[in-house]
Amino acid sequence: MAKVKFIGFGAEKEIEAKDGDILLRIAKDNDVRIPCDCEDGECGSCAVSVSFIKDSIQTERLDSQGKELKALISKAIISIKDAEYYEMNDKVPPVRLACQCIVRDDIVVKPYNG
């Protein structure tokens, strides 16, 4: 189980989620309103800030097709240089698309205000 703490989406909520659940689905199932248009990683409307609750080994990963990074770049949320860094170092950016973010660690989720 992973803890997901939502801050800034109305009332603060902390939810126990199953490892492998999609962040947007967790939010919807618990009445946390994250804006979303396509729910397919194309539009970037569900961008959120994500941080890890504890200093542990990061197990979050980006999708292998790079769809999420491409959407983040196209919406100027991250730069191409930053995207290359995240890919080369097997890291995830601090801004994620809720529809693509697979939850495996305890995280804090806040609205992205870019």
- Is residue 104 classed exposed, middle or buried when 0-12, 13-18 and 19+ CB atoms within 10 A define those classes? middle
* Strand duo 47-52 + 107-111: pairing: antiparallel
Backbone angles phi, psi at 99, to 5 degrees: -75, -15
Closest by CA position to 47, among listed 17, 23, 79, 31:
23
**Quick one: which H or E segment has residue 87?**
helix 80-88
Extract the tokens encoding 65: 């097709």
Q: Would the pLDDT of 9 be above 70?
A: yes
Q: What is the pLDDT of residue 66?
A: 79
Q: With pLDDT > 90 as the criterion, what percentage of the chain qualifies?
A: 68
Q: Which of 1-5, 43-47, 90-94 has the lowest mean pLDDT?
A: 90-94
Compare 91 and 85 and report the one with higher pLDDT. 85
Could you report the per-residue pLDDT of 50-82, keeping only the tens digit for each?
998 876 555 566 654 578 889 999 999 999 999
Are the CB atoms for 48 and 95 separated by under 8 Å?
Answer: yes
pLDDT, average across residues 78-98: 91
SS3 of residue 105 by DSSP? coil
Average pLDDT over residues 80-96: 90
Angstrom CA distances, 110 to 8, 42, 84, stand at: 6, 20, 24
Residue 55 confidence (pLDDT):
63
Say whether domain 2-111 belongs to CATH 3.40.50.1370.
no
